[in-house]
Structure 1
Amino acid sequence: MASSTTFDISFRRLLCSVCSKFSLPPPKYGLTLGSGGQLCSFVDVAVPRCSRFMEVITCWGSPSTDSNETEEDAARVAVETLRKELDFEIRDANYNERRKVEDLYNCVSRKYEDLRNECDMLKKEHDVLKRFYNSLMDEKNRILADWNEVKTHLDSCWSRLNQSGTVPMEAEPSVFAEAHGPTSENRAAMNEPHVSTACSVPPKIMATLESSPETKEDPEAPPGYYRN
């Protein structure tokens, strides 16, 4: 297959058409001798700034040994400058493809802006969560410090109790009996007669009471005992 053929556009004619379309003065070309003996062309185009004033813009072409090439390049730069200043488009064979690329670029740019905004929001949320996490860690460290202090005091109290030889108070027998029921010794004590120790009688008096005869009835009074 043969190589693709390229058709060049005359930018000098295009520049004249643009100036005529916007009622601008015709472009003025100039040619200078650059470094190395190469030619460098320039073109002056007028751009309206207000209703009465025009600004002259000088556009330079790339240096070349051919004057036509450098003038064409200067005209190309001038057309591009006027397109940005006057906001117009040049329809050519690549116009439709260019519009598609521009639309795709705009779509990608909008998506990029959305992603950037979302990224900024996530960064803000990350900062908030980071501060909250740091506050929770500080609270955790404070609680652990308090717990270690309480544990130290408990260990100190326990060591003092062990050094003083204090024996824990035993549970009362009645409480133990209620919790576990009567034992064999308790049952035997319950069957024995109950003797009160609070009002116990001395042994000698108890023996005298046991040996004395039973109490008899009171004797009758002699006759005339109750006379006045």
Structure 2
Amino acid sequence: MLWIFAAILMHCCVSFSAVAQELIKPKKMTFSYVNHPVIVDELIPIVRQAYASLGIDTQFVEQPSDRNLRAIKKGLVDGDVVFSRLLVKKYPELLLIEPPLVRSIFLLLCQPQLPCSQSVLSDPKKLIASTGASQNGLIETFGKQLKVNFYLINNLAVIPQLITEKRFDYGIYVMNARQLEQVNQDDFHYLELFRTDSFHILHPKYAFLKADVERALREVMAKSESE
């Protein structure tokens, strides 16, 4: 009986130690991100400052958008700088951190001389340049109406250039409202498809940090808006 009690006690101690270790605030965290000017120039600095205020160093790793959420789920990275709520639906275990960092606008980019309407998405003869993540967003939104063909590209940032250089007739791109105001329609026309809030994402093992990170993000964003 004594050895049974000792085994149970050892198991409890090991389990408690593992839980306690998970709840210790990390000194450094690694986040994936998609190469996009708003993310690189505006959102990474916000996330970096928020974690710095919590005493946590941050490292950022560029990833194709269709790999980021899988990498978080597998524990290869600690989270993602920002991802659309729409695209996180398939990963309900991941943590969406309030507040939304940006309102993402999904756009159909079109050569200026071509029709630029939602009917393009229903035309099986058309080809659209898109990332895998953007394709998933369109499938989620339009379902069976979506019959267009996709040419998948890993780097979201290059899609406007591909349209401007006339390498593709159509593309799917994501902007925020400020970017949209600055679009030169001599380069391409666009059609707004839908808008969705985008959030900082964390692996579920960091649930104990959620409230602190949310508070830190709000403070950094408020300071940034007041400057």
Asked if these proteins are the same fold (TM beyond 0.5), I'd say no
TM-score class, shorter-chain normalisation, is under 0.3
The structure with the largest strand share of the pair is: 2
Bigger Rg, structure 1 or 2? 1
The structure with the largest helix share of the pair is: 1
- Normalised by the length of structure 1, the TM-score is 0.19
